[in-house]
Structure 1
Amino acid sequence: MERYVPEIRGTLRQHMIEVPECIQQASGIRIFGKTIRSLAFTTDVAVIKNINADAIIAVYPFTPQPAITQAIMMAADVPVFCGVGGGTTTGKRVVNLALDAEFKGAIGVVVNAPTPNEIIRAMRETIDIPIVVTVVSENTDFKARVEAGATILNVSGARKTVDIVKRIRDQLPTVPIIATGGPNEDTIMATIEAGANAITYTPPTPAELFRVLMDKYRAELS
Structure 2
Amino acid sequence: MKQVPEIKGTLRNHMIELPSVIREASGIKIFGKRLKSFLFSTDVAVIRNTNADAIIAVYPFTPQPVITQALVMAADVPVFCGVGGGITMGKRVVNLALDAEFKGAMGVVVNNPTPNEVIQHLRDTIDIPIIVTVVSEYEDIRGRVESGATILNVSGAKNTANIVKKIRSMYPNFPIIATGGPNDETILETIKAGANAITYTPPSTAEILNEIMTNYREKYKNDSMY
Stretches of structure 2 lacking an aligned partner (at least 5 in a row): 222-226
Tell me the TM-score normalized by structure 1: 0.98
Question: SS of the counterpart of 2:152?
Answer: strand
Question: Is the 8 Å Cα contact of residues 143 and 172 (structure 1) preserved in structure 2?
Answer: no
State the secondary structure of the residue aligned to 1:179. Answer: strand
State how far apart, in whole Å, the 1-side matches of 2:14 and 2:210 are.
13
Aligned to 1:81: 80
Q: Cα distance, 1:221 vs. partner?
A: 2.4
8 Å CA contact retained: 1:134, 1:156: yes
Number of equivalences? 221
- 2:191 corresponds in structure 1 to 192
Q: Which residue of 1 aligns with 2:159?
A: 160
Match status 1:179 vs 2:178: yes
The aligned residue for residue 139 of structure 1 is: 138
Q: Residue in 2 aligned with 1:208?
A: 207
Question: Which amino acid is the alignment partner of residue 90 of structure 2?
Answer: G
Q: 1:143 offset after TM fit, Å?
A: 1.3
- SS state at 2:11 partner: helix
Instruction: State how 1:14-29 maps to structure 2 within 5 Å.
Output: 14-29=13-28
Alpha-carbon distance in 1 for matches of 2:123, 2:83: 14
| CA–CA separation in structure 1 for the residues paired with 2:64 and 2:138 | 31
For 1:181 and 1:101, the matched residues in 2 are separated by: 26
Structure 1 segments of 4 or more deviating over 3 A?
none
SS at match of 1:119: helix
> Partners of 2:65 and 2:117 in 1: how far apart?
23
Which residue number corresponds to residue 224 of structure 2? none
Structure 1 unaligned blocks of 5 or more: none
Q: What do residues 51-91 of structure 1 show as CA deviations (whole Å, max 9, x unaligned)?
A: 10000000011000001101101110000000000011000
The CA distance in 1 between the partners of 2:114 and 2:53, in whole Å, is 26
CA shift, 1:23, in A, is 0.0
Secondary structure at the residue paired with 1:13? coil
- Give the Cα–Cα distance (whole angstroms) in 1 for the partners of residues 68 and 164 of structure 2: 29
- Do the aligned partners of 1:161 and 1:180 also contact (CA within 8 Å) in 2? yes
2:121 maps to: 122
1:134 partner SS: strand
| Alignment partner of 1:170 is 2:150 | no
Corresponding residue SS for 2:56: strand
Structure 2 counterpart of 1:40, one-letter code: L
Say which SS state the counterpart of residue 153 (structure 1) adopts: strand
Give the CA deviation at 1:158. 0.4
- Shift of residue 192, structure 1, vs aligned partner: 0.1
Say which one has the larger Rg: 2
- Equivalent-residue separation in structure 1 for 2:181 and 2:114 (angstroms): 24
The one-letter amino acid of 1:84's match is V
Percent identical pairs in the alignment equals 70
| Letter paired with 2:44 | V
Q: Under a length normalisation based on structure 2, what TM-score does the superposition of the two structures give?
A: 0.97
User: In the alignment, is residue 104 of structure 1 matched against residue 113 of structure 2?
Assistant: no
